[in-house]
Chain A
Amino acid sequence: MSTSSFKNKCVTQVYCIYCDSLLCTRGMKAVLLADTDIELFSTDIPPNRTVDFVASCYATESCQCKLRDIACLKCGNVVGYHVVAPCKPCLMSCNNGHFWMFNSDAVSTVNRLDPSGLNLLLWGDLPELDDQEDENLDSQSEEEFIR
């Protein structure tokens, strides 16, 4: 989470358009870096117990990011994807640092309000998350059981 422009964005609740189940309470409206015509909703933390992966990783034509589709756990329909590994160009360009995306045609959204109930809740108001480092691939553990 870097630039100030992201802090002024509205926090949205994201619902599955097929079965109306709540997918995520920390969404942000964004555009795809590789193709800025495409709108979507992104979030920073893995949606908890509302979606799960389907199939395997793939890359698209637009860029070399390694992606994996996610589907709503209730109805099983694909609602978005997770960026398993971003490609260098995307990582280098201005991005909101979110790795979980929802396709705008698969979800319906509602803007959240702040505690007063009068104003829209903005991303700048949300508490910061702890920095999660990528787990170091511990090669030691693999090699413990071979001889």
Chain B
Amino acid sequence: MCDKMAAGTENRVLSYSVFKWSSYSSTYLPENILVDKPNDQSSRWSSESNYPPQYLILKLERPAIVQSITFGKYEKTHVCNLKKFKVFGGMSEENMTELLSSGLKNDYNKETFTLKHKIEEQMFPCRFVKIVPLMSWGPSFNFSIWYIELHGIEEPEVVQPCLNWYSKYREQEAIRLCLKHFRQHNYTEAFESLQKKTRVALEHALLTELHDRLVLRGDFQACEELIDKAVRDGLFNQYISQQEYKPRWSQIIPKSNKGDGDDNRPGMRGGHQMVIDVQTETVYLFGGWDGTQDLADFWAYSVTENQWICISRDTEKESGPSARSCHKMCIDSQRRQIYTLGRYLDSSVRNSQSLKSDFYRYDIDTNSWTLLSEDTAADGGPKLVFDHQMCMDSEKHMIYAFGGRILTCNGAADDSRGSEPQFSGLYAYDCAAGTWRLLREDSCNAGPEDIQSRIGHCMLFHSRNRCLYVFGGQRSKTYLNDFFSYDVDGDHVEIISDGTKKDSGMVPMTGFTQRATIDPELSEIHVLSGLSKDKDKREENVRNSFWIYDIVRNSWSCVYKNDQAVKENPTKALQEEEPCPRFAHQLVYDELHKVHYLFGGNPGKSCSPKMRLDDFWSLKLCRPSKEYLLRHCRYLIRKYRFEEKAQTEPLSALKYLQNDLSLTVDHSDPDETKEFQLLPSALFKSRSDFIPLGFSDVDQTYAQRTQLFDTLVNFFPDSMTPPKGNLVDLITL
């Protein structure tokens, strides 16, 4: 009914007063937001500092449905403008819900945002609105808000029914909490009486049935059957999709060819290049630096055969590129061709060798190299660079190259007073026409289409939305934290993140020799962080960390962080767990089979600077599967059954442990085995050890079964379950 009335009513400006504020500085009072004077720099609220928490709480004159918020601005761009903020709303100060999370553009135009004002199609009213600034455009500057306008509906005919609904909703939740409490404490009469009177459902009928089977009847077999059916009906899918990925590294020991000795797989190296042909599940590896010299060997690893094949011991001898490292390769899987551009030359060699940027293509099917250009700079393309990035756009048959440091030949003997390093811009290579085009020059300007070139960054091409994603990198001594995308068809740059210190802990840190891959189907970017470039930090907290960036949701999540320092003689177990942190390694991703491959690199051991790695790993990111959850639930049920039995029939319990319970344990998993081995101690514990907190007035068995019920219920979708909270938790001292 509320919605029908809303359709005819106007969305008006809502009156409010400034109720509370975290702080303010000088003359920039909170009340200034009530007035819109864009040409007066003092007509704004400014916080005293940018240390959280900073906020403004507005109180509406009347409860209203708050549908949108408008931010006014200053007539010029201003560093105090809010780059990131959140808006909360509610009927009381203590009880507010998030209505909006967004940011303002740093310009002089008003911006209006829609606020969340419905819960599942039901409008809800607010009396208070809280604005929480999180980040300003200038990271060290305070937060300023120039002008705020709220819009919504305040007609009582519309708002009152919503208030009634809200009130009823709260009452209903209170009743459910009571029902839950009564049932937990076995106040059967009270429970039935309340339920009969209010007709409020505590939970979905299926879960009531589970409770009946488990807690009231102790019919464990029936419980398992119910869970089994629930899993098969897909009821656990929501839980699974919310779980985090767990990384599973596995070192690859390839098959060795007979009689080939040590030469049957690539030797140790850093600064090499790897690409993967997902159609044939083949990983190609070329070149690198073995600690002493550049390499020119070319390899292919077949995942299905688990074998390396040496395509060429020296590509230069086969009309291919000379030995090199810090080059970049990309693969055109469609046409089965591999391109390589760039390389690094030591300063001692630079003056004698020509600095031509040669550009080669390898055709997989004909096993032949073609020199596409002797010097791409002469063809309008990039100069000779290293530590750049290159991506393939198979669809339009284009290659994009960005960044890298340009190698220059210094005439003067004294290199220390050399000129500023030059970084290469963004170039496009039209493979069919064989021509280069400069898309963006290196620019330090802050224009919307300007990009800063860099080295050591990550660049990925999203074949579905046809954008390049670039982040991180370094420019001389400055680490860059920004993240932007480039629409190749629209020739348009979009800044995703400016990169400020405030994000620390929430996004992968730069300066850690990252490697990134992209999954266009899931629209995810995966980033593996390596070794800290800061030598002082290195020994303390050497770490691997793996991050996933969800492109659609624009959010980073850390899959794992390895905080262990690398020991001198790692135990075998640790070695098998995951590759040691390193840099100058290569990481490729098979988006069809969802597997990453990693090879070699430099472990950064200051005591052996020439040491390089030749280890080969695969990484799978796993979420618990349906089968795993089913087994896990069975384990929980049987484990409890064992513990219950242990109190009364220890011998029978032991037998149960050894047979039925043992069946649900994965004995190859060390954690599960360990837990399983500790279970027999239940046979020797007394009853009193088991009393759970908060159930002092209840029969112990009933209490314990209730606990198990609460655990199992978590796997079901929230819409089916009883409320998560407990009545007793509302009591504070």
Contact = CB atoms under 8 A, between A and B. Distances in A.
Interface of A: 18-21, 52-58, 71, 73-77, 135-139, 141-147
> What secondary structure prevails in chain B residues at the interface with A?
loop
A144 B326 CA distance: 12
Interface stretch (B20-28, B97-105, B181-189): B20-28
Given A56-B444, A145-B583, A76 B477 contact: no
Interface stretch (B87-95, B136-144, B555-563): B136-144
Contact of B78 (A21, A77, A137, A144): A77
B443 to A, nearest CB: 8
Q: Counting chain B CB atoms within 10 Å of each CB, which of A21, A136, A147 scores highest?
A: A147
Contacts of A145: 456, 513, 531, 533, 583-584, 602
Nearest to A21: B26
A138 B271 contact: no
6 contacts: A74-B142, A76-B78, A76-B141, A142-B421, A146-B344, A147-B269
Contacts of A21: 26
Given A56-B444, A56-B445, A76-B46, A146 B271 contact: yes
Interface of B: 25-28, 41-42, 46, 77-80, 136, 138, 140-142, 144, 269-271, 288-289, 325-326, 344, 347, 386-387, 405, 415-418, 420-421, 444-446, 450, 455-456, 474, 476-477, 513, 531, 533, 583-584, 602
Given A54-B79, A137-B476, A138-B477, A147 B141 contact: no
A9 B553 CA distance: 58
Given A20-B26, A147-B325, A76 B138 contact: yes
Nearest to B511: A145
A138 B474 CA distance: 13
A83 B347 CA distance: 31
Contacts of B326: 146-147
A75 B46 contact: yes
Contacts of B77: 55
A140 B418 CA distance: 12
B46 A137 contact: no
Among A136, A142, A146, chain B packs the most CB atoms within 10 A around the CB of A146
Contacts of A136: 416-417
A19 B445 contact: no
A52 B141 contact: yes
Contacts of B138: 52-54, 71, 76
Nearest to B386: A146
B271 A142 contact: no
B80 A139 contact: no
Nearest to B531: A145
B271 A137 contact: no
B137 to A, nearest CB: 8
A20 B444 CA distance: 32
A71 B80 CA distance: 10
B561 to A, nearest CB: 20
Given A56-B446, A142-B387, 16 more contacts: A19-B27, A54-B79, A54-B138, A74-B25, A75-B25, A75-B80, A76-B46, A76-B144, A77-B41, A139-B347, A142-B405, A142-B421, A146-B270, A146-B387, A147-B269, A147-B584
Contacts of A137: 418, 420-421, 476-477
A75 B325 CA distance: 50
A135 B421 CA distance: 13
B644 to A, nearest CB: 59
A64 B725 CA distance: 65
B48 to A, nearest CB: 9
A85 B683 CA distance: 78
A138 B405 CA distance: 13
A75 B28 contact: yes
Contacts of A53: 138
The 4 closest A-B pairs by CB, nearest first: A147-B271, A76-B80, A56-B446, A147-B289
Contacts of A135: 477
Given A71-B79, A75-B26, A147 B602 contact: yes
A136 B326 CA distance: 24
B600 to A, nearest CB: 10
Contacts of B420: 137
A139 B455 contact: no
Contacts of B42: 18
A53 B141 CA distance: 10
Contacts of B344: 143, 146-147
A142 B288 contact: no
A52 to B, nearest CB: 5
A18 B41 contact: yes
Nearest to B445: A56
B441 to A, nearest CB: 14
A142 B474 contact: yes
Contacts of A73: 140-142
Contacts of A20: 26
A136 B584 CA distance: 25
A75 B584 contact: no
A136 B420 CA distance: 9
A139 B136 CA distance: 33
Nearest to B141: A76
B140 A52 contact: yes
A143 B140 CA distance: 31
A54 to B, nearest CB: 5
Nearest to B346: A143
Contacts of B79: 54, 71, 76
Contacts of B144: 76
A146 B415 CA distance: 20
A4 to B, nearest CB: 31
A73 to B, nearest CB: 6
A12 B421 CA distance: 38
Nearest to B139: A52
B410 to A, nearest CB: 10
